[in-house]
Amino acid sequence: EADIYQTPRYLVIGTGKKITLECSQTMGHDKMYWYQQDPGMELHLIHYSYGVNSTEKGDLSSESTVSRIRTEHFPLTLESARPSHTSQYLCASSSGGLAEAFFGQGTRLTVV
Amino acid sequence: SQQGEEDPQALSIQEGENATMNCSYKTSINNLQWYRQNSGRGLVHLILIRSNEREKHSGRLRVTLDTSKKSSSLLITASRAADTASYFCATGRIQGAQKLVFGQGTRLTINP
């Protein structure tokens, strides 16, 4: 089992609410990533970080924001959730940009 | 567009048969990786093959890489019901930001 954890596992929330999806890893990895995946579909990179105080937007435009204040922690925030944000969000980390990635179990978000 | 494209999108075979999935990509790569995703969960790394390697084995898995054709294949021998999952290839590009880019995945179903 990989030492990367996401909470909550499932979240149902009303439109307009602010939410934060948590992701933590205990492997000391510098590289961390957020992917968005609709059921049965491909993964889209929405944010990544190469270390503390380093964050970049991914290939898919997202209204979410991220922060990297500590190496082990990479939370994702939606200021005002909308039904279009309904999806699965997967967090991952790796020791290098092209190295094996370790994934959390994901957060399945439903905005009603 | 995504770097990797898996083929077929869905594959259904009988237990004990071999399963072959293919991945094509567009740009020069440092390595290519295969991941498995069980329904609704995070991805698990299976195998990594570097651009200077042509074939790699891990248990019942065999991966080939043809950089001249920009393609890779994943062979699962003697399939089991537990192999039912989605399989994704991910490429580590040489140029640009060092991050993995995932394909759309192949949904594999093993019938008992």
Instruction: Collect all residues of chain B within an 8 Å Cβ-Cβ radius of residue A40.
Output: 86, 107
Residue B1 has a pLDDT of: 36
The 3 state secondary structure assigned to chain A is CCCEEEECCEEEECCCCCEEEEEEECCCCCEEEEEEECCCCCEEEEEEEEECCEEEECCCCCCCEECCCECCECCEEECCCCHHHCEEEEEEEECCCCCCCEECCCEEEEEC
Phi, psi of B102 (to 5 degrees): -95, 150
Instruction: Collect all residues of chain B within an 8 Å Cβ-Cβ radius of residue A88.
Output: 40
Q: Decide if A32 touches B, using CB distance below 8 A.
A: no
Q: Decide if B48 touches A, using CB distance below 8 A.
A: yes
pLDDT along chain A (112 residues), means of 10: 88 97 96 91 91 90 93 96 96 86 96 97
Q: Is the pLDDT of residue B95 over 70?
A: no
Q: Decide if B42 touches A, using CB distance below 8 A.
A: yes
Higher pLDDT, A24 or B3: A24
Closest residue, chain A, to B6 (C-alpha): A42
Instruction: Collect all residues of chain B within an 8 Å Cβ-Cβ radius of residue A104.
Output: 42
Closest among A19, A38, A24, A10 to A104, alpha carbons compared? A24
Nearest to B92 among A40, A48, A98 (CB): A98
